[in-house]
């Protein structure tokens, strides 16, 4: 069963994504792949397109998800698989 969530980006998250070269489509894909049962979630994912793991902080209310921030983790976790 595929549930598509409505994903919004905060102004801060859009700016961080642009600053670090993170594609917003990648973030939306990660959010839609995860089962969201929490109001606030912090995800650390290791995507092959990026040299470092990406941390995504989001808030979930019902089926609406707001991305609060996203950034690469510079220290540690560089080659470890998080998912």
* CATH code (residue 63): 3.30.2310
Q: Residue 21 region, left (φ>0) first, then alpha (ψ -120 to 50), else beta?
A: left
Q: Write down the pTM of the prediction.
A: 0.78
| Rounded Cα–Cα distance for residues 58 and 7 (Å) | 10
Per-residue pLDDT of the chain (83 residues; tens, 9 = 90+): 456 678 899 999 999 999 999 999 999 988 888 866 778 889 899 988 888 899 999 998 888 899 999 999 876 544 444 44
In a domain, 20, yes or no: yes
In a domain, 82, yes or no: no
Number of structural domains in the chain? 1
Which residue segment(s) compose the domain that 41 sits in?
6-72
In a domain, 83, yes or no: no
In a domain, 45, yes or no: yes
Residue 44 DSSP label: E
């Amino acid at each position: 069963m595929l549930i598509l969530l409505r994903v919004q980006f905060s102004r801060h998250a859009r700016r961080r994504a642009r600053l670090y070269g993170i594609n917003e489509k990648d973030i939306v894909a990660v959010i839609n792949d995860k089962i969201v049962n929490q109001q606030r979630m912090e995800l650390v994912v290791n995507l092959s397109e990026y040299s470092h793991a990406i941390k995504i902080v989001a808030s979930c209310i019902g089926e609406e998800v707001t991305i609060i921030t996203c950034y690469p983790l510079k220290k540690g976790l560089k080659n470890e698989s998080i998912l």
